[in-house]
């Protein structure tokens, strides 16, 4: 038994030609069939097909190798080679990544967000360096859709948010942003969200649509707010030592494939949102789309979080924030 003893391509001999058999261990944070899983499997299929199986990819879904921060360490120590690692979970190690926790930073035009995530110097210059310092090579940032609010009452103006027990990812910037919006933020463990929503222990939560659907939160909530207050961003990373031992052709092949999958993922995530929305619409949850004025009211309230980011984001945070803000503005001008 156990036909899995061959090590991955970390033999150490720096092969210069791309003819070595390579097994890539690729982990992500989501369940089977979720957006990240589709992304990684697309990468697997393309790479395996292009190399006729010379390069193989083992996909590890959420939980099989531990939680998010576990995955990060395993990537650093080379236990896994590749991962989808969301900045939301890495703020404790790379504080600069908390930029992705600032609400209302991104545009309500998804094309703008796509362009910025694909190109911004803030991400591929300063922020990428911070990843490199921790032994990781970030390839591409990409997105998994707008974040939505769910609750048992409509949330359209700051008054509605007042005193609400709102669940967000338990990081200090996200907690702070809900405090600024007047809510009583909760860092409820993700395994407890469903029960707490059902029993009313928390009043609402935020997540991308496909996750609200796959985790069944819509079953226990009355209202879904299309608030566009945030997008869920993530990044494809590799262990940089491992990556540098690969033959140059293989490095290029992998980088090109990631770029292809990244472009593909933009349409894919849109389709996943649409599928999720179609299913959610079949339930009796009421869907409310926030107007620009309504969004702006929340945006104004949460503005101080940007200062909080500069303060706790470590060296280079200010630069990252300013660059990305400028890039978003430029992209909006170009595309709107």
Partner 1 sequence: MSKKLFLNKPGGEESMNVFDRIDRVWSKIEMTVLSVTTILMSLMLVGNAVSRYFFSRSWGFSEEIGQLAIVVLTFMGIGYAARKGMHIEMSGFFDLLPKKFQRILRLFIDIVSAAVMIFVSYLAFQYVAHLQEIGQVTTILRMPVYLVMAVVPLGFFIAFLRYLTDFIVNITGFRGKTES
Partner 2 sequence: MTLWAIMAILFIMLFLNFPIMIVLIATGLIMMMTMAPHLDYIVFVQQMISSVEAYVLLAIPMFIFAADIIVRGQTANRLLDFVRDIIGHIRGGTGIVTAATSTLFGSVSGSSQATIAAIGPPMRNRALQYGYKDSHIMGLIVNSAGIAILIPPSIVMIYYGMLTGTSVGDLFIAGVIPGIFIFLGFALYEYIIAIRRKIPVEPKTTWSQRFKSLRGAILTFGFPIIILGGIYSGVFSPTEAAAFSVLYAFILEVIVFREVKVRDLFPIAASTGVVTSIVFILLAAGGAFSWIISYLRIPQALTETVLGNDPTQLQVLIIMSLFFLVSCMFVDSLVAIAVLTPIFFPLASQMGIDPVVIGILVTMQATLGTVTPPFGVNIFTACAVFNKPYMEVVKGVFPYIIIFMIVNVILILYPDIIIAYRYIF
Q: What is the closest distance, in whole angstroms, from the C-beta atom of residue 229 to partner 2 in the complex?
A: 23
- Residue 221 sits in the site that holds partner 2 (CB under 8 A): no
Q: How big, in percent rounded to 5, are the helix, strand and coil portions of the chain? A: 50, 20, 30
Q: What is the closest distance, in whole angstroms, from the C-beta atom of residue 126 to partner 1 in the complex?
A: 18
Name residues whose C-beta falls within 8 Å of residue 45's C-beta, 6 or more positions apart in sequence: none
CB neighbour burial string for 197-217, b if at least 16 within 10 angstroms, e if fewer: beeeebbbbbbbbbbbbbbeb
Question: Which of helix, strand or coil describes residue 232?
Answer: strand
> Nearest 5°: phi and psi at 60?
-110, 120
> Nearest 5°: phi and psi at 22?
-130, 135
CB-wise, 78 or 316, nearer to partner 2? 78
Structure tokens at 5: 């003893």
Q: Which does 196 bind (CB under 5 to 8 A by kind): partner 2, partner 1, none?
A: partner 2
- Residue 10 sits in the site that holds partner 2 (CB under 8 A): yes
CB-wise, 76 or 240, nearer to partner 1? 76
CB-wise, 116 or 175, nearer to partner 1? 175
Helix (H) or strand (E) holding 304: helix 304-312
Q: At what angle do helices 35-50 and 248-282 cross, to 10 degrees?
A: 140
* DSSP-assigned states of every residue in 72-103: HHHHHTTSSSEEEE-GGGTTTT-GGGGGGG-T
CB-wise, 75 or 147, nearer to partner 1? 75
Helix (H) or strand (E) holding 264: helix 248-282
Q: What is the closest distance, in whole angstroms, from the C-beta atom of residue 193 to partner 1 in the complex?
A: 14
Binding partner 2 (rule: CB under 8 A), the pick from 16, 50, 69, 92 is 69
CB-wise, 24 or 202, nearer to partner 1? 202
Q: What is the closest distance, in whole angstroms, from the C-beta atom of residue 165 to partner 2 in the complex?
A: 10
d(CA 334, CA 329): 9
Torsion of CA 316, 206, 230, 174, to 10 degrees: -20
Residue 194's nearest CA partner among 183, 207, 184, 182 is 207
- Residue 200 sits in the site that holds partner 2 (CB under 8 A): yes
User: How remote is the C-alpha of 10 from its chain's centroid?
Assistant: 28
> Nearest 5°: phi and psi at 165?
-85, 95
Q: Which does 267 bind (CB under 5 to 8 A by kind): partner 2, partner 1, none?
A: none
- Residue 77 sits in the site that holds partner 2 (CB under 8 A): yes
Q: Which does 312 bind (CB under 5 to 8 A by kind): partner 2, partner 1, none?
A: partner 1
Instruction: Give the footprint of partner 1 on this chain (CB under 8 A).
Output: 69, 73, 76-77, 91-93, 134, 163, 165, 170-172, 175, 184-187, 189, 312
Binding partner 2 (rule: CB under 8 A), the pick from 2, 133, 159, 293 is 2
Binding mask 23-62 for partner 2 (x = CB under 8 A): --------xxx------------------------x-xxx
- Residue 3 sits in the site that holds partner 2 (CB under 8 A): yes
- Residue 215 sits in the site that holds partner 2 (CB under 8 A): yes
Binding mask 174-193 for partner 2 (x = CB under 8 A): --------------xx-xx-
> Nearest 5°: phi and psi at 151?
-165, 175
d(CA 182, CA 175): 11
- Residue 196 sits in the site that holds partner 2 (CB under 8 A): yes
Residues at the site binding partner 2, with contacts judged by CB under 8 A: 1-5, 7-8, 10, 31-33, 58, 60-67, 69-70, 73-74, 77-79, 188-189, 191-192, 194-196, 198-201, 213-216, 219-220
């Amino acid at each position: 038994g156990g036909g899995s003893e061959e090590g991955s391509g970390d033999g150490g001999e720096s092969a210069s030609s791309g003819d070595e058999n390579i097994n890539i261990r690729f982990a992500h944070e989501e369940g089977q069939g979720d957006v990240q899983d589709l992304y990684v499997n697309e990468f697997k299929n393309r790479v395996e097909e292009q190399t006729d199986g010379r390069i193989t990819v083992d996909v590890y879904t959420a939980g099989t190798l531990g939680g998010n921060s576990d995955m990060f360490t395993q990537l650093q120590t080379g236990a896994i080679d590749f991962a989808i690692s969301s900045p939301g979970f890495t703020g404790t190690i790379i504080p600069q990544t908390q930029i992705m926790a600032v609400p209302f930073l991104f545009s309500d035009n998804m094309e703008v967000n796509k362009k910025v995530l694909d190109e911004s110097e803030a991400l591929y210059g300063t922020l990428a360096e911070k990843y490199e310092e921790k032994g990781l090579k970030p390839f591409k940032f990409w997105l998994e859709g707008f974040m939505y609010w769910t609750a048992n009452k409509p949330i359209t103006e700051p008054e509605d948010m007042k005193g609400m027990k709102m669940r967000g990812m338990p990081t200090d910037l996200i907690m702070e942003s809900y405090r600024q919006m007047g809510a009583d933020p909760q860092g409820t463990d993700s395994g407890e969200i469903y029960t707490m929503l059902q029993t009313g222990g928390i009043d609402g939560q935020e997540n991308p649509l496909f996750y609200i659907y796959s985790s069944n939160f819509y079953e226990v909530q009355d209202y879904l707010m299309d608030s566009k207050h945030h997008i869920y961003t993530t990044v494809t990373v590799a262990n940089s030592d491992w990556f540098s031992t690969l033959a140059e052709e293989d490095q290029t092949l992998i980088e090109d494939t990631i770029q292809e999958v990244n472009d593909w993922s933009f349409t894919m995530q849109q389709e996943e949102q649409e599928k999720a929305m179609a299913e959610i619409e079949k339930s009796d949850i009421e869907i409310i789309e926030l107007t620009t004025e309504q969004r702006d009211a929340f945006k104004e309230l949460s503005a101080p979080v940007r200062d909080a980011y500069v303060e706790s984001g470590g060296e280079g945070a200010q630069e990252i924030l300013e660059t990305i803000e400028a890039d978003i503005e430029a992209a909006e001008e170009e595309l709107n």
